[in-house]
Structure formats: C-alpha cells, structure tokens
C-alpha cells in the first residue's frame, strides 16, 4: 500500500488530497472538499497531464514563435517534447494556428503556433 | 519649427493592452466613432504578448488560451471595427482639461483634445531598488517580467543558473519558462510564510520540476563584480528580519525579482487625478470615473488584477461609461463612500453614485487568509449583501455584488465592506 498527497489546483483552497494505492490501483481518496479535488487527485495518480507552451527561434524574426500543445500531454513527456521542439528549424512567416509539429512524441497531440511571426 | 498639430476626438484611450482594447471596443459598440488608442509599443496587446503560457480566457471565453491568443481576439475585433490604434506613440502628458500630448517617430508631436480620456496604462514591476537588498550592483539581476520579455519576445536567454526572489505568479511562471528553455532554477525564495501565487502555479511551475520553494526566506546578499556570481538566502523571523546562522549560498548567474506590481500612474498624477494609498490607483466611482471629470481608468492602472478576464470586463464598462459621458448622459451625482472594514484592503470602487439603480460589484483583497468566512457589505445597521466562501486569500481578488434594490437602501454614511468569520 502506498500513499500520495496531491495538492488540488482547482481553487485557492488547495486541498491536500491523500490517495491510497494498491500497486497502481486507487483504493481510497480522502481530504478533498469538493468533487473536483477527487477527480483531479485520481487523474494525477493515474496519468498527470499538462499543457506545454514554449518559444522557438524562427529564422527571419527577432520575436520567437510561441507555441502550445493543442491539448494536454502526459507530464512525463514534457522534457522529450521540449527537445523535439528544440530540433525544429522554422522560417517566418508562420501564422497563428498552424501545426508546427504533428503528433509530438507519439502523444497524438499537435503543437500549434499561438502567434503570427 | 512646425505648428503643433491639434486633433479633436470624442474619446482618447491611453494604452493598447487588454484594458485599452476592451475600452475602445466597448466605446465603439456604444456608438462612438471619433476614437483613438495610443500605444507606446510597436504592437497592441500589452503584457499579454509576452505571456505565452496558457490559462487566460476561461471566464470570458470559456476556453483556456495563451496570452498572445487572448490579445489577438481583441486586436482582431478592434481591426474589424476600424478602431484607430496608434502604436509607437508615447503619451507625454494628460491634462485635467482632457488634452493628451503624445509623440511618435512618424507623426512627431500631436495634441488630442478629447471629450473623455480612458487611462489604461497597466502596471509595472517593483524593482531591486525598492527592496534595499545589500550586495554588489552586478549584471544578471532582472525583474521576472524583464526576463520574460527577453525570452518570449526577443529570443534571448538571460542566464543559466537562476534564483527567483518572490513567489508571485510571474515569478512562478518564469521558474517554469526558464527550466523549459534550458536553464537550471535552483530555488524560489519567498519572504512571507505563504505564496501569493496560485496553487496551480506552485504545483505546475515548481513541484513539477522539483524546484524548492523557501517560505519565510529572503535574499540577504548579492555577490559578483561584473556578473552575478551568487546569492545568500536566509530564513526570516516573524518581523521579517533575517535569522543569523540560517544562511544558504547559491552559485547562480541570474536573480529574478517577482516582488510586486505597482499601477503606473505618472500620467494620472499629472492630470491631477486623486490616487488611493491602498490600491496605488485612481480613486473612482462605480462608473470608473476618476476625481477629474471625464477621465476614466480601468485595468491594472486602477488596481492590480489576478486575471485578464476581469480586466477586460472592467474595461468594457469604462468604455461604455466614457461614451455615456461624451453624450452628456453621465451627470455629476452625490456619492456614497465605500470603506474598508475589518479584513478588507483596497475596496473598489471607492465611491458609489447615490440613487444608482444598478447592481454594483465591489472588489477587494482580504488582508489575510480566512476560512469559512463571509464578505459582508453594510450601511448604517443594514446588511446589503453577503457572500460566503470556504476561503478568502490575499492572493485572490474577492468580488461581492450589491443588488440595485439593496443599494437604494444605503444610508448617507456610505457602505462598509468587511469579512466576518463564521465563529464571530
């Protein structure tokens, strides 16, 4: 039996939610005030997800291109995703909304430009 | 010397960030066509342009956007309406007769005579000089926002080994940004026993990357001749004095400061606008009009907001009210003062027009953390509004609405906003 304490991020309460796991199976969740804390803590224990945003240098522009993952990706893939973005060689002009990297690190999620350079 | 150019406008808006853009859009939608926005930078959008992280727009658009995306919505809407936005244009002065003097490389000096002026200059960061931290004056010390601008707008990395002083949201966001872009962030140091940043940012910007947060600690020494070489961090006591013997040393080439935001009111002062010691912004009434008739203020120049969504909301109203003023629909009225009671700091608006037949939203910052408490608005012996919350914290602006019917019952002494604990 393992215990993990997760700080809920949904509101300023910041409930410290305790999740008890048997192997990878959740057996008990306690310490939350509302349903969102329960849901969030379970997700954090199963597969934490994060939006990733970054800036990438672009040939032909002083201002770098800002990008985001189109949806959250597994937290464990953040470093790998940043390396993949670092390998990109981009040239201006690029329009906001363009996918600059498809299916980043096999997550099925595209990385898209958030501004036009 | 050529003659000074003088132009007439119904409304002039100082600042093309989210506040100025929203005010301009609202004024245009209210029928004002003689309208100009003056923006110091080369692009509209203000600080959002460098806020490339996500988390904007949840309240206003119901979706999570990055800063540039949020700004673009307003820039596109302003363009659609044909609103005149003059970039690279610095306002030199605003006078109490609503003359606005500005300068730009292409137009030179221009004077606008405006029917109404909306102040939307935003805020700036508290610099090192305001802290009195001892040590050498070497390179490598930046405000968090300056570092953010270098990385996110100018493709430059300010340093490789970083300590962050202050755990406000910008500092936390920069801890993650510097880490993602390849730097090593050694520590985030906070003077207070709590962080004023969002839980979300503490988890996703520090904990996710294993960056330690030292609460009740501060930087007590800065070392380095040409470039920063290291900082000393020590624990502080309840009086915020460093405790001898608790010193830690960090070898670093960069120190980022995230130690507070101050509304940028130099132009407001020049116009004779009364400022509040509590918010550092203009004293205003529920129409967002300042002490100078026809001069309105909105956004972070008025009081520092947590979320841009609320800046936009406030600024839409400022634009509508400025339009009403220009049309002569906003008459001078007697006012009721809005006062801070126990637990409340910097309630805005500071005044409500007497006889107002509208709901009024009062915003304030709690002076400490209160759990299971209520925000209450009273006048005379009467309770006009009550809002319960599981938590009030200084890190989150609290909002309470007084309904129109309740407001009409207010006594001449005005309204007092206070926090009541459940057990009190």
Give the model confidence (pLDDT) of B235-255 as tens digits: 999 999 999 999 999 999 999
* Interface contact flag, B395 A64, Cβ < 8 Å: no
Q: Give the start-end residues of each E strand in B184-334.
A: 184-189, 213-214, 217-223, 230-235, 248-251, 254-257, 261-263, 295-297
* Interface contact flag, B72 A54, Cβ < 8 Å: no
Instruction: Please write the tens of the pLDDT for every residue from B301-359.
Output: 999 998 999 999 999 999 999 999 999 999 888 999 999 999 999 999 999 999 899 99
Confidence at B423, pLDDT banded by 50, 70, 90: low
Query: What was the pLDDT predicted at A10?
Result: 84
* Interface contact flag, B64 A62, Cβ < 8 Å: no
Q: Is residue B424 pLDDT above 70, yes or no?
A: no
With CA atoms as reference, the chain B residue closest to A81 would be B180
Instruction: Please write the tens of the pLDDT for every residue from A32-73.
Output: 989 999 999 999 999 999 999 999 999 999 999 999 999 999
Return the ∠ at Cα B289 (arms to B382 and B284), rounded to 5°. Answer: 50
User: Would you say B317 and B339 are in contact if contact means Cβ atoms under 8 Å apart?
Assistant: no
Q: Is residue B1 pLDDT above 90, yes or no?
A: no
CA-nearest of B120, B16, B43, B58 to B310 is B58
List Cβ<8 Å contacts ≥24 apart for B249-253.
Answer: B250/B161, B250/B163, B250/B186, B250/B187, B251/B161, B252/B140, B252/B159, B252/B161, B252/B162, B252/B163, B252/B186, B252/B228, B253/B140, B253/B159, B253/B160, B253/B161, B253/B162, B253/B227, B253/B228, B253/B229
Give the DSSP letter of residue A104.
Answer: G
In Å, how far is A83's CA from the nearest CA of chain B?
9
Return d(Cα B121, Cα B144) in angstroms, integer.
Answer: 19
| Helix/strand/coil percentages in chain B, nearest 5 | 25, 35, 40
* Interface contact flag, A66 B68, Cβ < 8 Å: yes
Query: What was the pLDDT predicted at B335?
Result: 93
Instruction: Please write the tens of the pLDDT for every residue from A62-92.
Output: 999 999 999 999 999 999 999 999 999 999 9
The two tokens of residue A30 are: 């306690």
Complete edge-to-edge strand list for the sheet that includes strand B370-379: B351-353, B335-340, B415-421, B370-379, B382-392
For residue B199, list chain A residues with Cβ-Cβ distance below 8 A: 7-9, 11-12, 14
Which positions in chain A have a beta carbon within 8 angstroms of at least one beta carbon in chain B?
7-9, 11-14, 33, 50-55, 57, 62-64, 66, 68, 75, 78, 82, 86, 96, 114-115
Contacts of residue A25, Cβ cutoff 8 Å, sequence gap at least 6? none
In Å, how far is A21's CA from the nearest CA of chain B?
20
With CA atoms as reference, the chain B residue closest to A69 would be B54
Alpha carbon of A61 to those of A43, A91, A94, A99: distances in Å? 40, 8, 10, 18
User: Would you say B400 and B385 are in contact if contact means Cβ atoms under 8 Å apart?
Assistant: yes
Query: What was the pLDDT predicted at B281?
Result: 96
Q: Among A12, A54, A68, whose Cβ lies nearest the Cβ of B199?
A: A12
For residue B69, list chain A residues with Cβ-Cβ distance below 8 A: 96, 114-115
Return d(Cα A1, Cα B252) in angstroms, integer.
Answer: 41
* Interface contact flag, B395 A12, Cβ < 8 Å: yes
The two tokens of residue B300 are: 């972070």
* Interface contact flag, B180 A82, Cβ < 8 Å: yes
Backbone phi, then psi, for B323, in 5-degree steps? -65, -40
Instruction: Please write the tens of the pLDDT for every residue from B361-397.
Output: 999 999 988 989 999 999 998 999 999 998 898 888 9
Dihedral of the CA atoms B44, B50, B52, B55 (nearest 10)?
-80
Give the DSSP letter of residue B3.
Answer: P
State the DSSP H helix or E strand holding residue A37, giving kind and residue range, or none if neither: helix A35-46
* pLDDT, chain B, mean: 94
The two tokens of residue A51 are: 């939006």
Return d(Cα B102, Cα B112) in angstroms, integer.
Answer: 8
Confidence at B74, pLDDT banded by 50, 70, 90: very high
Domain residue spans of chain A: 2-46, 53-113
Return d(Cα B320, Cα B351) in angstroms, integer.
Answer: 18
User: Tell me, what's the ipTM?
Assistant: 0.90
Residue to mutate among B46, B53, B205, with most A CBs inside 10 A, is: B53
Q: Which residue has the tokens 């949020």?
A: B70
**What CATH superfamily is the domain A53-113?**
CPE0013-like (3.10.530.10)
How buried is residue B245: exposed, middle or buried, by Cβ count under 10 Å (0-12/13-18/19+)?
Answer: exposed
Instruction: Please write the tens of the pLDDT for every residue from B269-308.
Output: 999 999 999 999 999 999 999 999 999 999 999 999 989 9
C-alpha gyration radius of chain A? 18
For residue A75, list chain B residues with Cβ-Cβ distance below 8 A: 208
With CA atoms as reference, the chain B residue closest to A66 would be B52
Mean pLDDT of the region B101-123: 97
Return d(Cα B279, Cα B94) in angstroms, integer.
Answer: 21
* Interface contact flag, B155 A7, Cβ < 8 Å: no
* Interface contact flag, B180 A7, Cβ < 8 Å: no
In Å, how far is B45's CA from the nearest CA of chain A?
12
Query: Across the strands, what pairs with B252?
Result: none
Query: Checking phi first, is residue B342 left (phi over 0); if not, alpha (psi -120 to 50) or beta?
Result: beta
Give the number of A-B residue pairs with CB atoms closer than 8 Å: 73
pTM, two decimal places: 0.93
For residue A82, list chain B residues with Cβ-Cβ distance below 8 A: 180
């Amino acid at each position: 039996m393992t215990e993990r304490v997760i700080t809920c991020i949904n509101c300023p309460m910041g409930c410290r939610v305790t999740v008890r796991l048997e192997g990878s199976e959740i057996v008990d969740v306690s310490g939350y005030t509302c349903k969102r804390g329960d849901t969030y803590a379970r997700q954090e224990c199963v597969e934490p997800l994060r939006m990733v945003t970054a800036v990438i240098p672009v040939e032909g522009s002083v201002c770098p291109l800002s990008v985001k993952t189109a949806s959250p990706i597994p937290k464990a893939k953040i470093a790998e995703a940043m390396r993949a973005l670092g390998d990109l060689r981009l040239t201006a002009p690029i329009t906001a909304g363009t996918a600059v990297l498809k299916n980043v690190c096999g997550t099925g999620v595209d990385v898209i430009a958030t501004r036009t350079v | 010397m050529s003659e000074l150019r003088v132009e007439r406008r119904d409304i002039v808006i100082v600042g093309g960030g989210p506040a100025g853009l929203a005010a301009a859009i609202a004024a245009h939608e209210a029928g004002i066509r003689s309208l100009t926005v003056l923006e110091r930078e080369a692009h509209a959008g203000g600080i959002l342009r460098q806020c490339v992280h996500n988390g904007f727009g949840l309240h206003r658009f119901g979706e999570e956007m990055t800063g540039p995306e949020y700004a673009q919505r307003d820039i596109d809407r302003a363009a659609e309406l044909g609103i005149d936005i003059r970039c690279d244009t610095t306002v030199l002065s605003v006078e109490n007769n609503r003359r606005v003097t500005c300068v730009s490389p292409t137009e030179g000096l221009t004077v606008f005579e405006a029917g109404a002026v909306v102040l939307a200059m935003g805020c700036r960061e508290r610099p090192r000089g305001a802290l009195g931290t001892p040590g050498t004056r070497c390179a490598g010390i930046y405000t968090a926002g300056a570092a953010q601008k270098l990385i996110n707008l100018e493709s430059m990395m300010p340093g490789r080994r970083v300590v962050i002083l202050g755990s406000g949201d910008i500092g936390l966001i920069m801890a993650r940004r510097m880490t993602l872009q390849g730097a090593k962030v050694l520590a985030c140091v906070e003077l207070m026993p709590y962080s004023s940043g969002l839980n979300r940012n503490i988890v996703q910007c520090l904990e996710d990357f294993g960056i330690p947060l030292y609460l009740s600690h501060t930087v007590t020494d800065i070392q380095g001749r040409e470039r920063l070489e290291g900082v000393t961090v020590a624990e502080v006591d309840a009086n915020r004095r460093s405790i001898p013997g608790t010193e830690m040393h960090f070898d670093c080439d960069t120190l980022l400061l995230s130690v507070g935001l101050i509304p940028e009111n130099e132009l407001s002062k020049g116009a004779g606008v009364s400022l509040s010691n509590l918010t550092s912004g203009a004293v205003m009434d529920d129409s967002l009009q300042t002490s100078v008739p026809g001069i309105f203020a909105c956004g972070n120049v008025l009081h520092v907001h947590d979320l841009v969504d609320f800046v936009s909301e406030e600024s839409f109203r400022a634009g509508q009210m400025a339009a009403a003023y220009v049309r002569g629909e906003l008459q001078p009225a007697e006012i009721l003062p809005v006062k801070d009671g126990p637990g409340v700091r910097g309630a805005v608006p500071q005044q409500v027009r007497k006889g107002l037949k509208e709901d009024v939203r009062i915003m304030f910052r709690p002076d400490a953390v209160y759990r299971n408490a209520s925000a209450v608005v009273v006048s005379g012996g009467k309770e006009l509004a009550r809002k319960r919350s599981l938590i009030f914290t200084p890190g989150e602006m609290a909002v309470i609405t007084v309904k129109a019917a309740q407001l009409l019952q207010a006594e001449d002494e005005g309204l007092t906003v206070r926090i009541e604990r459940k057990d009190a």
